Amino acid sequence: MNVLITGGTGLIGKKLVHKLRERNHNPRVLTRKKTNNPDEFYWNSDEKFIDPKAFENLDSIIHLAGANISQKWTAEYKKELFSSRIETANLLKDYCLRQNVRINSFISASGINYYGTFTSEEILKESDGILKQDFLAKLCDEWENAAENFSYSISHRTVCLRTAMVLAKNGGAFPMLKKTVDFNIGSAVGSGNQWMNWIHEDDLVNMYIFALENPEIEGKFNAVADQIPTNENFMKALAKTSGKLFLPVNVPSFVMKVAFGEMSSIILEGTRASNKKIKSLGFDFKFSTPEQAFEDLIK
């Protein structure tokens, strides 16, 4: 299949492009840099421009573009979090309509904070909807609505993967967490009782492939691993796997709020999400427990 990818130079995008080629697909990457690579196509969302050649004989689009959520949310950065996800999706839609493009699937990233950011014993399913209206819930809702706009006249089906914290060796939150543990200062944060939804980078890439290659996959899916630990147990497991100390004194919530502002909510709060829906359709996780993921990423 000819697959157009936004965010193809990012953490997950690079691995996805490589895996697509291994499986004899033809990935095309939208990039802000003009290159001579025949598989890369220039786009500039600020200028509302995409190279029209990117849409020729296109089968599917995978939309991964989005500014990093783990930075302090100033008023200006909040706008970028929205525009980098939703306005880019709308730009793709406009070009598809302009060029009368019809595709088999539009597959979009989304966030596990769709339900809202809070802590409870509830295990969230895709059918639960938004349970707490906050900034991330609004962001994810509009993100998914932008994807749904493709289903009416452009794409045969749409898929949104509500992605948890991605554990990756060379990017995301894991290297920072590993560094604290390596210095023997790994500890729980806040109460330590908040749940830590997570997924290994390889499982997430495989889930995008699964969604692309299986035409019965449609709708919203939680992209989370089987075993969801509390923050305290997550950090204990990381310290143990690393052969390092775990400090029994938690980092106070106010320290995180001073350091990260509103963004600290995604560190201090968390409710478990279920992955039964994607598993019921045949997807198998390679990394089901944090310990399995840590063993792979560390050793």
- pLDDT (tens digit per residue) in 63-120: 999 999 988 999 999 999 999 999 999 999 999 999 999 999 999 999 999 999 999 9
- pLDDT (tens digit per residue) in 165-200: 999 998 999 999 999 999 988 999 999 999 999 999
| pLDDT at residue 299, as a whole number | 80
Q: What global pTM score does this model have?
A: 0.96
| pLDDT at residue 61, as a whole number | 98
Q: What kind and span of H or E run contains 210?
A: helix 201-213
| pLDDT at residue 184, as a whole number | 87
- pLDDT (tens digit per residue) in 228-285: 999 999 999 999 999 999 999 999 999 999 989 999 999 999 999 999 999 999 999 9
Where is pLDDT greater, at 164 or 71? 164
**2-167+199-224+273-285 belongs to which CATH class?**
alpha beta
Show the tokens assigned to 143.
Answer: 């993100």
Partners of residue 274 on adjacent β-strands: none
What ranges do the domains of the chain cover? 2-167+199-224+273-285
How far, in Å, CA of 270 to CA of 134, rounded? 13
Question: What backbone torsions phi and psi does residue 223 show, to the nearest 5 degrees?
Answer: -100, 80
Residue 152 has pLDDT above 90, yes or no: no
How far, in Å, CA of 199 to CA of 172, rounded? 12
How far, in Å, CA of 178 to CA of 78, rounded? 28
Find out whether 31 and 43 touch, Cβ atoms under 8 Å.
yes
